[in-house]
Each structure stands twice: as structure tokens, then as C-alpha cells.
Chain A
């Protein structure tokens, strides 16, 4: 199969280049990660992140034929050749397919991604009805792979100011949690022309999410909560 790989090594390369690679691999039942690892077995200078190899850890997000995906759950057979693999867009490249995720994590941390509840803790669990718990479905499953945020033009323009879809989805996960008491503070933290309202509903995030989550919908819900509390 034919591949075009983005290569950049900061110690030797003045600028990045695309490398054409041919690999003898039967695509049946194989994922893109299998192919990248097979290429790395031949040329160990190719660098990428990987861990769980089953789509739950979020390490190996890359841009494949123009779309952000997890290499480990992207079937080779679905991809048009030459398969072009690049690092995630919108973040500084460290080497080859590895980007500096810090701007992404900074935005994640900025939404205070932890449950806030200052009531005395009961000796047992806090109760939560199945219906209240169901409101977290579609929000808590995020794996922080950054496929969505780095597919978002608003984030490309303002990575330091716009929280981005992943961070906003996490913000909603805590707003939606019946056990969390900090909704007002969380909304204050987001009511800002950049932090929340840079979302223009482009919906690249929904298209990119490898877990089938819908950040745009969560962002819409945050916006409507902000409208509701004004009236």
C-alpha cells in the first residue's frame, strides 16, 4: 500500500517534508496503526504516540487524508491511497506525527474539570437517578485525543482564548451532573466572547470525534443555559 507521511525532525530538518512509503501489508482486518508500526519496524526514526491500540486512551490521533482520526481504529481498507498521514493541525509539531498538546490541555484545565460539591459528604454514595445519570452520557466518555479541537477553525485562530470543543464538552459534563453545585461559576467562567462564543457551529468537531460524541450540541446547551439565566 502507498503512504505519504509527514516527516519533521527538529535536530536535522530545517522544515518538514512529505515522505512516500510503500508497505507490503494485507489491509484486511488491519488498522492504520498496524501499518504505521510496520513502517516504524523498517524505519525506526518514524515517531508517533500510541498506547491502548483500541480507541480508548486517545494517544494516536493523527490527520488522515484530511480528517482527524485515531490511527488504531481507522481500518486500512477504508482509506484511499496514497494514504496521507499528518500530525493534528493547529498545534506545534514536535517531531513527525507528534504535536505539543499543551495548548489543548491548558484549555481543558481552564474549565475546572472536577466535580465541585462542598456539602458534607455522606458515609455512602450521593444518590443520582438513572435519568440524571443519563444526562452525562455523551459527555463523560471523552478521551482527550484532541481530534475535535484541532479540527476547529475557531481554535486554530484563537488557541489561547477559545476553550475549544473538547474543553467545552467537559465543562458541560460537570454542568449537567446533578451532583455538581458550581453551575453558576462554571457559566461565569465561560460567558466570554472568546472562551465560549467563538464557537460558530461549524460542527467539524462532531465529524471528527472518534467516539461519536457531539460537542456542538453540548455547546448549544451551555449557550441556552446562559440565555435562560438572563431572562
Chain B
């Protein structure tokens, strides 16, 4: 089998992977990026509203306020050392992007444009802050292209359209690279590396209604589970309040930041009832729940369904005027006209909550090192293995992510991981030998898809998405979650008997979809088991049978491991690096 060797290997060509790759490409070490799509097709490209950092370009601001909002937004489940690190490093990381050429929108004084976003406050819970830097409503596109351009400049080695299969590890647990497959030729290869970073993004495609790109299938999470490592806080999935109804495509929170607001069937601005102070700019979990309640109570807009009302609410922004919309929200207008058939300059956009972001993921420390329970404690680094971005759980987002914090997460921790990988490479100058048969299990898993089978992959994928949508949505109960888990068992049995019609080599996307489904199955199982386990409501995890937050029993992270669906706990770090701890209190907006 073909073997390639690099100092550093990055799996995933989105914002996190490319930011880390850039750090390495600027050094003397060589770095390769493996991506199943051409890098600018990665889901970072879809991020709209912006990147949050307390630059204070519009209004007074301090990173400490950003930190407070992030802790509160995450319903105190976030680790405060990591949150301090992110908010403290944010300004330099964003200025760096500007220096690289990111075309931020500008204020009259020439500084980077900032807009208000949900959950932002001044002075630790005071008035609305204006903290999210934007390139119109195409911030993710601008960021991803800028980072890709810098990586071309610094000659990063790209493996475009290669699919990573499994981690390679030795007996002592060192990560030594991955097995991968060229999608174009179907050839498998080993990519050996002294350090490997997973930056494979989210897995929102486990849900039927999702804002996510079709490639968001949790591939890195599947790799980690198969390597016997745990996943953290997988019960926490953010449902974004404003997906285009029936489609799922995202309408940025920036619309509400610019002054848009939500209306129910009666034309009522209902967020005033749920969040009297922050209204439409409360945390995303709060707004999504409010919309779900309005619809369930028969106050949804549109044709009457069985709830007694329609199944969406309206997002009004026509009062902003055509000029402001064209200048600050052009992409939204385009999406709305195309997918909702509505020009927001004239009429409100029909919206409903859509699965958007995975707060949980591969547990890491704030250097991006993957950590797992081992000999000496619950958080021992797995040597040579890193994870960053949505696939990772560092954890800065806790139980609910604030808008604009995800792009920030990518670049702050992408840079931090890149720096730490350089240290690791200097401290470990010689490659460790790859054990014989290290790739056997992985290749057998791939070859299994050459065997014919009765069941079709697409039908099982469809079943998985329906089940997660109906059994693991905004509101959850023990009975419904357990029913979902039983359905998942049945789907897994079917998957074992599934086969492909197409067993050819060249650009066999059916085979890729089968491998993606295997990864999604692992993500769904981790989510359901963790959600059953946590008998409280916190952030985006809402249990109707346990409606209150319970700090006494549940101020802790969930660690899910595949063998026996085991769930362990890990303490939340309430102690920041240098500032005072933000003690848990009631979360109101």
C-alpha cells in the first residue's frame, strides 16, 4: 500500500484545520491537509453573521465581558479556563485575519465593522453589546477563502478529495497518522505523521432538518469512537431559531442584530414575553424554545396544521430598508428569495428552528490536545493527537454556543493547536514505528462494502435522520429518547446487512456515503445515550421530564464511550486562568 509521510497531518480543510495548517506551514516542518472536499467547499463557508471579539470598535467593550456572556450563554457548563483563553486571545487572532486580507466590512473611521448579536452584554449582564465583526453576511466565506489563500502561499500540501478512514495508533496509544482513500481513484493509502489534528467539523446531518452542509457527517467523531476514545457533552445540540421553514438553510442571527424581529400568527412580538430584556437577542436556545412553544400552542404562522396554527413564525426585517439590507445582509436576501420565495425587503421570512451546531465533541485541553481518561486521571493527553473546531469540545460553548463564537473558536484554537503541534514535533523529533497490521481493521471495514447486501444505504440514512428529528429534538423526554435508541439499534442491525449497488473504484460517492453513515451512527448513539443520561435541563438540552437546571447533580461534563454505551462524568472547570470565577446563577435574558 502507498505510504506518505509528513511531520504534521490535518484532517479537514475548514477554518480550524486551515488555521492550524497555516501555523505549521510557516515553520520548517511539512504539513499535509486531507479533506474530503476541495477546502473552500467546507462548511465554514456557510457561516454568515460574523466572528465575536471585544474590539470595542463601536461601543465600549472588554474581553472580560465577552467571557461573562460566553459562560452564561453556555449555562455554566463551559470550562472557564478555556473561555478566558479564547476571549483573551480573540483580538490578536482576528487582527491577524485582517492582516491576511480578510475583507471585513468597515466603519466610517476605517475600523472593522461590528454588529450586535444574541447573548451579548456590556458590564457583566448590562446593556446590549456590539461585538460581532462581519464581512457583510458572508463572514465564513471571507474567512475560509482568506485562510485557504494563505495556505497556498505557504505551500501547504493538500490532499483534496481524500477521505480519512481511521486513526493509526501504537500499543502505547501514540497517534501515528491515518488510513485514507482517494475518492477519485478509490486507492487506499497510509499517511504517517508525528502529529495528527482532527478538524472534521460538525455532524448536523444526523438530523432531518438541519442548517448543515451535506458533508457534515461527524467523520472525526466516528474515527475517535472506533479508536476507543470518548466523546464529551454529546447531548448538547444547538437548534438555531431561524432556519428557513421547511428547508433548514440558515438565516443569520445578524438579521436580529441589525434590528429584525420575530412575529407569531397574531403579529405579536412574542420574544418580549420570553426574554423581556434581551428580547429577540436572547441566547439561541431560549429563542428556539420560544418559537417551538409558540408553534405548539397554535400561534405559528401559515397554513393551519394539527397544532391549531401554522408551523413557522415570521422574521420581519423590511423596516430596515432596502439600502441597509443590500449593504449588510445581501446573502440573506438572496437565500430568502431563492428558498422561501420571499423578498425580505417587502415581506417577512418564514422561519423555524433547525439543527445547527454540536456543542459536544472530542474532548481536548486548551492546546487542542485530545484528552481521555487514562492512568493518572480523566484528562490525559493522547500523544500526537489533536482536535479543533466543531468536532472538538474544549469546552468553550458549554451547553449552548453564542453566535459568532464558533468562527472565533476555529481560529483561536486552530492557532493554539498549531503552536502546540510545533512543540510536540520539536520534543519528539523521530517518528515511532508503525506496528504491523495497524491498518488491518480499517481496511477490513472498507472492504466490507465490496460485499453485496440487501438493504440500501440511502434508506437507512433517511431512517436515522427521521428518528433523530422526531426523538431527539428541541424538547426531550426519557421515554421518547429510549424509543429513539431502540430504533437506532434496529437501524444498526439493518446497516450490518446493507450493501452497495456500486462497487466501482473511481469517484464512488455511494461508498463515501456508506462510510459517512457509519460515522453518523456513532454520533447519533453518543447523542441519545448522553441525552438519556442527563436528567436535567441545561442550555440546549431541554428535558420536559426534568425542566430545571440541577447544579447539585449535573454541573459536570458527560463522557460517552462506545463499549457498553458507558457514560462517565468529568468536572467542569469553574476556575479561569487569571480572573475570578463566574459563579453559577440563574440564567435570564
Which positions in A face B, CB cutoff 8 Å? 9-12, 29, 40-41, 43-45, 47-59, 73, 75, 94-96, 98, 101, 105, 109, 112-115, 117, 121-130, 132-133, 136, 140-141, 143-144, 174, 177, 179-180
Contacts and interface: CB of A to CB of B under 8 A. Distances in A.
A55 B338 contact: yes
Contacts of A73: 338
Interface string B450-478: 00000011100000000000000000000
Contacts of A117: 99
Interface stretch (B254-262, B375-383, B507-515): B507-515
A140 B104 contact: no
B112 interface: yes
A59 B110 contact: no
B29 interface: no
5 contacts: A52-B213, A54-B339, A57-B40, A112-B153, A130-B107
B40 A179 contact: no
B544 interface: no
B546 interface: no
A125 B95 contact: yes
A124 B502 contact: no
Given A109-B152, A114-B153, A143-B141, 13 more contacts: A12-B504, A29-B341, A40-B458, A44-B501, A48-B509, A52-B41, A52-B214, A54-B249, A94-B506, A113-B152, A114-B100, A140-B142, A179-B101
Contacts of B215: 51
Contacts of B296: none
Given A9-B504, A44-B458, A179-B101, A56 B109 contact: no
Interface in B77-129: 95, 98-101, 103-112
B458 A41 contact: yes
A54 B46 contact: yes
Contacts of A129: 106, 108, 110
Contacts of B152: 109, 113-114
A148 B363 CA distance: 43
B434 interface: no
A29 B248 CA distance: 13
A130 B501 contact: no
Given A11-B504, A109-B152, A53 B213 contact: yes
Interface in B162-215: 184, 213-215
Contacts of A47: 507-509
Interface of B: 37-38, 40-43, 45-46, 95, 98-101, 103-112, 135, 138, 141-142, 145-146, 149-150, 152-153, 184, 213-215, 246, 249, 331, 334-335, 338-339, 341, 456-458, 500-502, 504-510, 513
Contact of A114 (B109, B149, B246): B149
B501 A114 contact: no
Contacts of B43: 51-52, 57
B170 to A, nearest CB: 34
Given A57-B41, A115-B101, A143-B40, A43 B338 contact: no
Nearest to B111: A125
B216 to A, nearest CB: 9
B110 to A, nearest CB: 3
Given A9-B504, A10-B506, A123-B95, A101 B38 contact: yes
B506 A136 contact: no
B458 A52 contact: no
A10 B506 CA distance: 8
Nearest to A211: B334
B505 A44 contact: no
A52 B46 contact: yes
A94 B504 contact: no
A51 B98 contact: no
A125 B508 contact: no
A72 to B, nearest CB: 9
A130 B108 contact: yes
A123 B457 CA distance: 53
Contact of A98 (B98, B104, B507): B507
Contacts of A124: 95, 111
B501 A51 contact: no
Contact of B507 (A95, A112, A133): A95
A50 B513 CA distance: 12
B341 to A, nearest CB: 7
Contacts of B149: 113-115
A112 B150 CA distance: 10
A102 B320 CA distance: 43
Contacts of A29: 246, 341
Closest 10 pairs (CB-CB, A-B): A115-B101, A127-B110, A44-B510, A114-B149, A57-B41, A125-B98, A45-B502, A95-B507, A51-B41, A52-B213
Contacts of B110: 127-130
A127 B109 contact: yes
Given A95-B507, A129-B110, A53 B103 contact: no
Contacts of A50: 214
B41 A59 contact: yes
Given A55-B338, A113-B152, A177-B103, A45 B501 contact: yes
Contact of A57 (B46, B108, B331): B46
Contact of B41 (A58, A122, A125, A127): A58
Contact of B106 (A57, A123, A133): A133
A223 B558 CA distance: 60
Contacts of A179: 101
A70 to B, nearest CB: 10
Contacts of B458: 40-41, 44
Contact of B141 (A43, A56, A122, A132): A56
Contacts of A177: 101, 103
A50 B216 CA distance: 12
Nearest to B212: A52
A126 B99 contact: yes
B291 to A, nearest CB: 21
A73 B335 CA distance: 9
Contacts of A41: 458
B507 A94 contact: yes
B331 A56 contact: yes
A51 B506 contact: no
A141 to B, nearest CB: 6
A92 B135 CA distance: 35
Contacts of B142: 140
A122 B110 CA distance: 14
Contact of A144 (B40, B101, B505, B509): B40
A96 B508 CA distance: 11
A187 to B, nearest CB: 18
Given A52-B213, A129-B106, A44 B457 contact: yes
Contacts of A75: 338
B99 A121 contact: yes
Contacts of B104: 125, 133
Given A11-B505, A113-B152, A133 B41 contact: no
A50 B108 CA distance: 39
A2 B414 CA distance: 47
A54 B111 CA distance: 31
A27 to B, nearest CB: 13
Contacts of B457: 44
Contacts of B45: 52, 56-57, 143
Contact of B510 (A45, A55, A121, A127): A45
A56 to B, nearest CB: 5
A43 B111 contact: no
